[in-house]
Structure 1
Amino acid sequence: MSDNAKRGGRGGRGGFRGDRGGDRGGRGGGRGGNQSRGDSQSGQGGGHLRGGYQSRGGDQARGGGPPRGGGGFRGGPSVDMAVRGDNPDNTPPETGGVYLRDKPILAPDASVTNAENTLVQQTKGKIIDGMPGRTGYGTKGRVIVLRTNYFQLQTAFETNNPEAPLYRYDVDITGDVSRPKRRRLLSQIVADARFNGVSVATDGARIIVTTAKIELGSWATGDSMLLADPSATSPDATGTVPAHVQAARARNTIRFKVDYITSYTLSQMISYLRSTSATAIYDARGDLIQLLNIIMCKRPSTIGDVTAVAGNKFYPNQVHPGKKYMALGGGLTALRGYYSSVRPAVSRILLNLNVSTGAFYNNDSIITLISQSGKGSLSLQEAFIRMLKVEVSYKPSKGDAFTKVKTIIGFAPGPDKKALKRKRFGNSKETRFSYTDASTGKVIDTSVFDYFRTHHGITLAQPDRPVLNVGTRADPQYVPQELCKVLPGQRYGRLLSGDQTTNMLAFAARYPNKNAQSIVDEGLRLMGLQHPDINLQALTVQPFGFSVKTEMLTVPGRILPTPQVKYGKATVNVRNGSWNCDKQTFVRAARFANWAALKLDIGNTPAMVESPNPENLRERDMKNAPGTIDELARYLRNYGIIMGTYGGLGSRRLLETTIENRDANDKILIEIFEFQKKKGCNMLFIVLAKVDKWLYARIKVFGDTKYGIHTICAVGSKLQKGKNQGMYMGNLALKFNIKGGGVNHTVPGAMIAPMDEKTMLMGIDVTHPSPGSSAGAPSIACVVASEDHFLCQWPGSIRKQKGKQEMVGEERRDGDMVNGLVEMVIERLRHWQKKHSNALPAKIIVYRDGVSEGQYALVLEKELPSFETAFKQLYGAQQKWPKMAIIVVGKRHHTRFYPTKQEDADYNERAPDRSSWNCIPGTVVDRGITGRTYHEFYLQAHQGLQGTARSAHYVVIKDDLKFTADALEQLTHNLCYLFSRATKAVSVVPPAYYADILAERGRAYLFTTLQEDHGVSEGSVVPGGGDEWDGSVHPDLRNSTWYV
């Protein structure tokens, strides 16, 4: 597997990666503080850990490819939607183009532009809510007009119509009540007669919003309500309610109290947003935005065949007539839905609506689903179906057959619990339980098989299958698998396999014009905002005092000048953010004193073809193994890399990389590295028989952390393929040179004042355990930093920290409290000192990745003091500290931009079928949809090859350097051309990108803990997991860019 290969999922970041911008699940949360955007329902991405797969809807992101759009609803006017996805109706392939190409282009709202221009004069040079105010708007580059997936809310106040207040109530529920029960309770509460004649919406968790004040009655002091259960057993002929039914009713009787909180008017929000005073305050803006989100999501939340995820993503599920879907394999289906978020901007309130793609379980029988999953062991099967909701259908001893919804806790435990060697799971004949016979009062011990045959007249057809526990661990309830069917619309929250990821990307990637059309047509319809036959908003949002315009906003944008790219002897031609380095030499060549190559076979699969067969077309263009390595060495030398003593091409064979063989394969790998270390090898090139994530991870563990040997991996079939071999060798040369301390290329004039040669750039990122990770799995925090003005070498520091903790800081280690961020910052500063004659940097610019809008203040509160502690230790007095800027990099947002003219789009007239129709690299937007006071902008530096390109979102949260808008935008754009592992501009600024890659490497060091789900119980041990990694890197590599 080439080190350029996709590296699988990250934390819960989804099971795929390409060239930047993959999905991390959502971020959630509002901005916090007084300046909060108030998007507490959703923030940038819906509030998940970085888990499972949740695409943002056809995004190019890190290499993804084209999505299709979907939506619709039931329960109102009928919606005609063609089924798409598996292409069951043989619809023709989609084609790209400019969205609304033949329609007039509406000019961006001049009143908003004027308000921005006035407001920025008030924010310049001020600290507002602890963050620097906007210093200005950018002016550099060619001015263009773009459409964006935002829609303007128009309040009754703005149209000079009477407005009614919005009233907020909070429901305080007694005890620990599950989220599904909370939703059911809130649904029953708002259906009460108290709300007759009143428009009402709820978030299903706590909040109720109405258009009139209601009489609470007994709810104000406390009341109880029995949750409706359509499958509940009725009293028998004597009026007696069975004991188990009484117990169920007691469990489903919920005590609660309803509190009136306050009322709001939308006119207050609009007045605040229109204010041109930087000191204007409306303390309730976050709360009001939250209510607007609840109102906006009411319609799709109440449609039975639409699945809501995280409160603001809505997927027409498998039983919806207008579903958009694709089979992923392994028991999963991709569904297309929509993300919704109400957000405040200058002078107006906006709705951000975007396509979203998710993976869901197939709604088949549980037996069919388990078979589809392909999970070989019972442990993996149990992990796959755990917490799934199923319909259990059978005929009770008395009465008619019924269906009841239950949640799978797992398989029933096996017999002989105390035996050393026992079956872990029990089938229907082995699983026994006791019950009290209603007629005799006797306690009867029976098996599940006998119970269903005796009481329900059901002779199980597959009695050897493990029984399902649909109760709890402490109080189990057992049902056979063959009586259960999976409910539709249940999201799969774990990492996808390689094949599933490929299928998901194929489904998700769509041309931007098609995505835009889906948002306007199907997305607005799903949200209850548009219908061809009726005024649907009159039923949905207008009763709450506002409407939504159904045309996408237009905003001003600019295309920044393309930077120059220079190699050792020449400046190369850059086109659409890409260039060719063939026949170039690197700016500074790496030197390897001793290197070797290794051919690593796996089982019966050879890593390389030894004897080309001229009659075999596939093998005809391949060289033999030694010849291929010689060819690689020739390429490396042509780029200027100094390859010292060559230790030859070795060959070893591993066992098949099954879990059972991991310990044995580890021993072979240890022998390999011991041998190379004794020979003084400092670069080992390893040719693999096939892609194998576990093997790749173990090679990196041994090379990076145990023996201090640089490693580069490649799959033999790619290395020996004659077609495009030069390009593949060139990509390998980029990595050889970086690992060896070289400089691949430079961007003349990349440093823009206030940045200079005394400025250090830093990147910080944290990756979290994904769903299915081992209990107690850690998060991994990383800091990378530049070491000189070339900005090619980015040594990094890495630490384990408490799982799911985003902020980098204090943690307990060996009984003591240790600040990991202080340690890592000091490590990077001391390395800079060594490179600069003991001088420390005078300026530091930090690009912080992985922070949601609601966490900006936390970075300043929790992480900035760690920098100051490090400065105090190394610089001394505060007046000697470096000037510092911190810029948060966001990739998890749902903002998209669409060209309005062909000349502003990525269109190739000579190859129209290879045109992406995205915005041109260098497109920047800093007004029209941004906030009132902070310095922020969106930059699409890269070429989005497939799907809808996603810009990176940059927000300045600290700025001692006093950046102008033009300076920071152009600097960030220039830096995106300095990612040394590629010959193209990348979508996210390299400091953040390198930190992300280093965090991913940390996940490889803890492969079993963080990237696998074996269905093992807590405390179980899986061989060859790498869980022994202590968080350190070998001293021989520590100050190199070893992780690329």
Structure 2
Amino acid sequence: MSGRNTERGGGRGGGRGGDRGGRGGSRGSDRGGRGGGGGGGRGSDRGGRGGGRGSDRGGRGGARGGRGGRGGDAFVVKPVYNYVAEFADEVSSENSLAAIKKLPAPAKTSGLPIALRPSYGALGTPTNVGTNFVQYKVTNLIFYAYHVTFPEFLEDKKKVRAELLEMLIDKNPFLPSKKVISHDNSAIIYSTVPIPIENTKVKKVPFVFSEEELKGVIPKARPGEKTTAGSLTVTVELVQELNMDDLQKSTSLLGPDNFDMQPYISALNVSLGYKISKTPNVFNVGNSKFFFVEHPESCQPFQRGLYLANGYFASIRPTFNNIVINVNSAAAAFIKSHTKSGKQMNVADLMEDYFGTENLSTLDNTQVLRHKSFFKGIKITRDYLGHKSKPKNLHEIDIKVTAANHKFEVDGKMTTVAAYFKSKYNITIKYPNLPLIHLGGTNYVPMEACSVVPGQQYKGDITDVKGMLDFTTHRPPALAGLVQKEGLKVMAKGDAEHRIGNKLMVVPSRVLDPVTVEYANGSVSYNPKPYDGKSENSKGSWNLNNRKFYRPVASVIKLNVVVLEEERFPLREQEKDLVNRAVKTFISESGKYGVKYAPAFSLNKITITNPYALEKKLEEVARSVNKPNNFILWILPQADKGIFSSIKKVCDVRVGVLNQCTIFNKFTRERYDKFDLGMYALMGMKSCIKLGGVNHVMSKEHSSILMKNNLPALLLGADVSHPTGAGANGSAPSVAAVVGSIDGFYNSFPGSLSYQEGKVEIIGEMEKMCVERIMEYHAKVGKLPQEVLFYRDGVSEPQFEILLKEEVPAVKAAFSTIKRKMNLPTYNPKLTFVVIVKRHNTRFYPLNKNAKTSSGKEIAVQAKENIIPGSIVDKGITSVKYYDFYLQSQMALQGTAVPGHYYVLYDENKFKPDEIQKVTYGLCNIFARAVNSVRVVPPAYYADLLCERGNCYMNGAQASRGETQMQAAKKMVGAGIHPSVKKAMVYI
């Protein structure tokens, strides 16, 4: 098991990401725990899921055996693909430097200018890698963009507008050119031929939809609209002629300085996506993902009520001297809408599938009530109306009303819903005693009368994580073949067929030398060798055998162990003895690495009751042991977000005592009469950091890049976490975090938290939090930093401009605040601001097993069918002119690894590409709680973890009358992390 799972009280592991979180420990495992699954996702050092409460595997296990879940979900069979990908013969390695140097100085804007690429990196062993990009020829292609203006009341009704656009292109003069027309589902129609809509009298040409055409599409025209009764008028105007030859020139930096590529790229993406979405059985999710829904070859039954569908991501983007398409495999869970025989499901059919029964009359309303959240929000149509009806959301399943007992007035007489449907529509209700569906207002309808709309992506919790991973993770050879043979086939239709390349692009790559990680009694480093199928798998991973933490915890710590027991499963004597033995072993093992606990420890237990009573008990225990050099080890019965959040809220915010969580059946697990010493080692890493120690550091070869005049650079990391689930639709706040280094070891990053308006990405209190981090650095180092390297997580490319306009100036404003605060004549350290984009669809495929270093030595450049950790790509598919690179820093355990995509947005330190790439990779090897390199550079990773912890602190906050959710959250969190522990990495 890996460290993170222990601390969080379980959780699901790490998505698809490949950070290992290896076992460490004295048993000598090279691999370590599962960590986070395959190559995609964030990459986590967490370890396995832990058998959580709702798990189909059961609850505590251990001495009693688990409780089990509903069970019965479909078994997912991992798809097997035998395609062999074809890669381009030529290597795409266009060099943009000469063109960049000819560019004029950027025009002054309200924001800071984005950094341009200064050069390319040169360090490392050169090789070539395949990509999931293909070239797209756009020469001699023109798009005519027409803007459609709708009545004001349709501004927030995107789906209605999309349907009207479809109806519009079925009218003259659009209809004859329909094959070359596409639209963005909102307001823009694109055509590759001009549409003859010119009107000498008006620029905006009106088109009228009759009342008959609008039936089932939108409500009748509202008062005040300038239309005839029941009809609706839109206007169409030619707004832009987009000659793609101009776009092609701009990718070579030959066009006008102020040329805006975005309208051109948007037209290409809309056209491509629109054509794909018109393929039978294909549904698009967002603008770039397309799924084969209800297509037997591409779907599998999944959790009850769901199936898994295969699909593809496709997006067009510019690179230097090229337009390319990024193509990737995608998969998602969808709500079932058809039976095995192909019949469209109604809600009753879906409920039968969900509960695994062929007779819903055997269900009681309590069961329906317990699981109604699955059905809430599902889109349905009412086919019994006899005409096309607009889909409606299932508002509620009301267990108080049934088709048999709910009455309403019809023609002056009271009748039941069941009787009405029989007399009006000749529909006999099979389950008259089941709850009715509430569609809003006074609209109650039987489940059997509502058909489930196909193509609805499921956004709830996935319980069968293994099944999802089995379906979605593919090793690079399989993924490359799938993308090239199937993905391109979907896109290459019509005119696009001769424009889209049929082979995957090849780009140059470099493999950086291994990072040496230092401990108190020695160092560890991978020794590059030729590929042998085994030794290369250890690059970026090691164990803690015979290692001592670089700087052990200075004091002897008193350990206070608290076991949380459930009322139904009180702690038995043999379990108490088991805990005693496990704790003694944990103390002994921790001491070997550098965390000295006193031999005598306290052991208490708390019985879990209701949440309020539990928090009170937790606080009583925490306060009773809140003394210097005391540490609490909480042992939870199973993974439980609510209990974990309560513990962290009490210890981190209210009381101020350092602590750690683990799971009973993991902490006490024995194999061959031995406890899991590897897990204890990783728990010791987390304890060491929290208690002020240092686990491991980079060698001077890497850390010297961050030293200037014997003063370490300050590393900052920032992220924003947005509300999910029920909070995503309400006024729940977002959590922003900034973490900062406190010395040149770069192992400890205390942080600052703030709460801001939900779904706002720009950090509002950036200046304040940066001031706190700089002052903490000053308190530890004794001087102010002269160089600042900032890693920002959680933003995408369209947001870069606003970062340069708001966040980067806010960081610089913090320097001015420090100057005033400390009464200095000047203080203006050099700032480099780097963004890591994690959620992207770029993948790399190794083409060679070995490559030769500059000295002629042959070394492995692939591992587990992936490119090897330390691989850099900064040519071929990177930005036209901006300073970006891809770094694959982690080993993928399954699937295809996802590299980090780094953009240097602002660079006063003038880091050379080799320097920023090398130090970023070095940092990825010293993540504080793992013995492996991680995917996300640690300062950004830590900020993400602190945001998660910030969500824990406000868990359960309920707004009272007249109070916003933000106010409720801030009231619960109070002043934030307690002063007693604010300087520690409480979130690790």
Query: Normalising to structure 1: TM-score of the pair?
Result: 0.78
- Structure 1 residue 491, shift from structure 2 partner: 0.9
Q: What does 1:56-67 align with in structure 2 at a 5 Å threshold?
A: 61-62=43-44
- In 2, the alpha carbon distance for the partners of 1:243 and 1:179 equals 17
Aligned to 2:559: 595
Matched, 1:312 2:277: no
Residue number in structure 2 paired with 1:40: none
Against the structure 1 CA distance between its residues 699 and 642, is the aligned structure 2 distance closer, same or farther, given a 3 Å change threshold?
same
Name the amino acid aligned to 2:827: K
Higher mean Cα deviation, 141-150 or 860-869?
860-869
Q: Secondary structure at the match of 2:904?
A: strand
Matching residue of 1:778: 733
CA contact 1:57–1:357 (8 Å) conserved in 2: no
Instruction: Provide the rounded CA distance (Å) in 1 between the counterparts of 2:920 and 2:761.
Output: 24
What does residue 829 of structure 1 align with?
Answer: 774
Distance 1:628 1:787 in 2: 34
Q: Take 2:283 and 2:828, find their aligned partners in 1: how far apart are those partners? A: 52
Corresponding position of 1:738: 689
Say whether residues 1:272 and 2:220 are aligned partners. no
Residue in 2 that maps onto 1:77: none
2:716 to 756, 762, 784: 762
Whether the aligned pair in 1 keeps the contact of 2:957 and 2:969 (CA below 8 Å) is: yes
Letter in 2 for 1:427: T
Contact persistence 2:183–2:270 (CA under 8 A):
yes
Alignment partner, residue 468 of structure 1: 437
Deviation at 1:151, TM superposition (A): 0.6
- Partner of 2:813: helix, strand, or coil? helix
Contact 1:608 1:717 in 2 (8 A): no
Are the counterparts in 1 of residues 126 and 851 from structure 2 also a CA contact under 8 Å? no
Residue 871 of structure 1 corresponds to: 815
Tell me what 2:168 maps to. 189
Which residue is 1:943 aligned to?
891
Conserved? CA contact 1:56–1:894, under 8 Å: no
| Distance verdict in 2 for CA 1:188–1:312, change over 3 Å | same
C-alpha separation in 2, matches of 1:974 and 1:5? 24
Cα contact 2:306–2:334 (8 A) shared by 1: yes
Q: Paired residues, what number?
A: 884
CA distance in structure 2 between the aligned counterparts of 1:451 and 1:688, rounded to whole angstroms: 54
Task: Identify the residue that residue 159 of structure 2 maps to in structure 1.
Answer: 180
Measured at CA, do residues 824 and 1003 of structure 1 come closer, stay the same or move farther in structure 2, by a change above 3 Å?
A: same
* Whole-angstrom distance in 1 between the partners of 2:265 and 2:825: 41
For 1:908, the equivalent position in structure 2 comes to none
Q: Do structure 1's residue 510 and structure 2's residue 474 form an aligned pair? A: yes
Aligned to 2:144: 167
Q: C-alpha displacement at 1:313, in angstroms?
A: 0.6
1:52-87 Cα offsets, whole Å, 9 max, x none, are: xxx99966844799xxxxxxxxxxxxxxxxxxx978
TM-superposed deviation, 1:5: 1.4
- SS, match of residue 943 in structure 2: helix
Cα offset for 1:299? 1.8
Kindly provide the amino acid, as one letter, of the partner of residue 683 in structure 2.
L
1:701 match: secondary structure: helix
| TM-score of the aligned structures, taking structure 2 as reference length | 0.82
Post-superposition Cα deviations, 1:346-399, rounded to whole Å, max 9, x if no partner, equal 0010011111122211224323434655796766655433332224344x6xxx
Could you tell me which residue of structure 2 aligns to residue 17 of structure 1?
Answer: 14
Q: Distance in 1 between matches of 2:428 and 2:895?
A: 52
**Counterpart of 1:727?**
678
Report the 3-state secondary structure (helix = DSSP H, G, I; strand = E; otherwise coil) of the residue aligned with 2:164.
helix
Out of 745, 750, 756, the position equivalent to 1:790 is 745
Cα 1:213–1:1008 shift into 2, 3 Å? same
Matches of 2:169 and 2:407 in 1, distance apart? 43
- Aligned partner of residue 662 in structure 2, secondary structure: strand
* Aligned positions of 1:690-709 closer than 5 A: 690-709=638-657
Q: Tell whether 2:617 aligns with 1:668.
A: yes
Q: Which runs of 5+ in 2 are unaligned?
A: 20-36, 48-72, 338-344, 356-364, 527-537, 853-859
Q: Distance in 2 between matches of 1:680 and 1:331?
A: 53
- Structure 2 partner of 1:46: none
| Structure 1 residue 512: Cα displacement | 1.3
Q: 1:642 Cα deviation (Å)?
A: 2.4
Aligned position for 1:887: 834
Match of 1:325 among 300, 303, 308: 300
By how many angstroms is 1:627 displaced?
A: 1.0
Secondary structure in 2 matching 1:131: coil
Q: Which residue of 1 aligns with 2:323?
A: 349
User: What pairs with 1:1031-1042 in structure 2 (closer than 5 Å)?
Assistant: 1032-1042=976-986
Equivalent position SS for 1:176:
helix
Change (3 A) 1:651 1:846: same
Distance across 1 between alignment mates of 2:758 and 2:870: 37
For 1:7 and 1:794, locate their aligned partners in 2 and report how far apart those are by CA, in whole Å. 17
The structure-2 alpha-carbon separation of the partners of 1:86 and 1:548, relative to structure 1 and needing over 3 Å to count, comes to: farther
What amino acid is aligned across from residue 150 of structure 1 in structure 2? F
Q: Is residue 713–residue 785 contact of structure 2 (8 Å, CA) maintained in 1? A: yes
Range with bigger deviation, 949-958 or 121-130 = 121-130
Task: Find the counterpart in structure 2 of residue 483 from structure 1.
Answer: 449
Q: Is the 8 A contact 2:7 2:660 kept in 1?
A: no
**Identity of counterpart residues, as a percentage?**
26
The alpha carbon displacement at 1:826 in A equals: 1.4
User: More deviation in 480-489 or 576-585?
Assistant: 480-489
- Equivalences for residues 949-988 of structure 1 within 5 A: 949-988=897-936
Counterpart of 1:903 in structure 2 is 850
Change (3 A) 1:551 1:282: farther
Q: Does structure 2 retain, via aligned residues, the 8 Å contact 1:147–1:555?
A: yes
Map 1:612-631 onto structure 2 (within 5 A): 624-631=578-585
Please give the secondary structure, in 2, of the residue aligned with 1:649: strand
Shift of 1:567: 0.8
Distance apart, 1:792 and its partner CA: 0.8
- Given the alignment, which residue of 928, 939, 944 partners 1:996? 944
SS at structure 1 position matched to 2:718:
strand
Matched AA of 1:959: D
Question: What corresponds to 2:607 in structure 1?
Answer: 653
The aligned amino acid for 1:410 is H
CA contact (8 A) 2:81 2:482 kept: no
- Cα 1:1019–1:869 shift into 2, 3 Å: closer
In structure 1, distance between residues paired with 2:939 and 2:961: 38
CA contact (8 A) 2:42 2:838 kept: no
* 2:816 pairs with 1:840: no
* Partner-residue secondary structure (3-state), 1:354: strand
Residues 170 and 259, structure 1, Cα contact 8 Å, conserved in 2 = yes
* 1:629 Cα deviation from its structure 2 partner: 0.4
Which one of the candidate residues 184, 199, 205 is aligned to 1:203? 184
Pick closer, same or farther for the CA change 1:461–1:349 going to 2, 3 Å: same
- Comparing 934-943 with 878-887, which one deviates more in the overlay? 878-887
Query: Is contact 1:116–1:346 with CA below 8 Å preserved after alignment?
Result: yes
The one-letter code matched in structure 2 to 1:762 is L
Q: What CA RMSD, in Å, does the superposition of the two structures yield over aligned residues?
A: 3.9
Distance in 2 (CA, whole Å) between partners of 1:91 and 1:641 is 44
Contact 2:106 2:113 in 1 (8 A): no
8 Å contact from structure 1 (residues 779, 801) kept in 2: yes
* 1:555 aligns with one of 498, 504, 507: 507
Residue 827 of structure 1 and its aligned partner are, at CA, apart by 1.1
User: Who is 1:392 aligned against?
Assistant: 382
Contact 1:889/1:952, CA 8 A, preserved across alignment: yes
Pair 1:803-2:758 in alignment: yes
1:718 deviates by 1.4
Deviation, structure 1 residue 1018: 12
Instruction: Give the Cα separation in 2 of the matches to 1:899 and 1:607.
Output: 53
| SS across alignment from 2:790 | strand
What is the CA-CA distance between 1:745 and the residue it aligns to?
0.7
Structure 1 residue 215, shift from structure 2 partner: 2.2
1:288 positional shift: 0.7
> Gaps (5+ residues) in structure 1?
23-54, 66-84, 158-162, 234-241, 414-423, 438-442, 530-535, 613-622, 656-660, 810-819, 906-911
Would you say the 8 A contact 1:3–1:713 is kept in 2?
A: no
Against the structure 1 CA distance between its residues 706 and 961, is the aligned structure 2 distance closer, same or farther, given a 3 Å change threshold? same
Say whether the 8 Å CA contact 2:9–2:661 is kept in structure 1: no
Judging changes above 3 Å, is the alpha-carbon distance between structure 1 residues 628 and 149 closer, same or farther for their aligned structure 2 residues? same
Can you list the C-alpha shifts for 1:910-931, whole angstroms capped at 9, x where unaligned? xx9x963111000000010111
- Partner Cα separation in structure 2 for residue 551 and residue 227 of structure 1: 50
